[in-house]
Amino acid sequence: MKKLIMLTLIIGLSLSFVVAQEIGVVDIQRVFDASKEAQEAQEVFQKETQEMQQQMKSKYDELLKLQKELKEQSAFLSEEEVKKKRQELMQKQQRFNSMREQMMQKSEQRRSELLKPVMEKIKAIVSNISKEKNLKMVVTKEAVIYNDSNFEITDIVIERLNRK
């Protein structure tokens, strides 16, 4: 009976070792950070984002100016005029908030558009490496708590991505 249990344990451990050897780990963030193409896309994104931020800043400054004017003029205006100006200010704030949300969505969409070609190349490279190393599964480093460096394919992915 003891021999049967030992044999079962040995077989189970050896099978888990075989399965473990068929897994690769890639650090996508490190790949993006080291990729020339991803860095170029990020620079384009930063430039476009700066332009959007400047537009938003001018709109925000406009709102602050209106707020200040209302505060300064409220002593000289009738209640009805103050109420009208407050409503006007609130509408502009709502439009500003809506515009800000749209710009954030547009910004994120643009970032995805710029990085999509890089991600496609990374997927193709990982697929090729998987076939070469006979890997059954490749997981991102973010999904792994611990891995032995033997499972790492990040450096290979970076080297091949920058070679193209």
Set out the domains of the chain in order of their start, with CATH numbers: 21-163 (3.30.910)
Helix (H) or strand (E) holding 89: helix 79-132
DSSP state of 75: T
Cα distance between residue 123 and residue 39, in whole Å: 17
Q: How far is CA 40 from CA 33, 146, 162, in A?
A: 11, 31, 12
Q: Note whether 122 and 162 are within 8 A (CB).
A: no
pTM higher than 0.85: no
Q: Which pLDDT score is estimated for 21? A: 64
SS3 91: helix
Q: How many CB atoms lie within 10 A of CB 105?
A: 10
Cα distance between residue 132 and residue 67, in whole Å: 64
Q: How far is CA 26 from CA 30, 146, 153, 155, 164, in A?
A: 9, 12, 6, 8, 19
70: amino acid identity, one letter: L
Digit-by-digit pLDDT tens for the chain (164 residues) are 555 455 455 655 444 444 556 889 999 999 999 999 999 999 999 999 998 899 899 999 999 998 898 888 888 888 888 888 889 889 999 999 999 999 999 999 999 999 999 999 999 999 999 999 999 999 888 888 888 788 889 999 999 999 86
According to DSSP, the residues that pair with 139 across neighbouring strands are: 25
- The maximal CA–CA distance of the chain, rounded, in angstroms, is 98
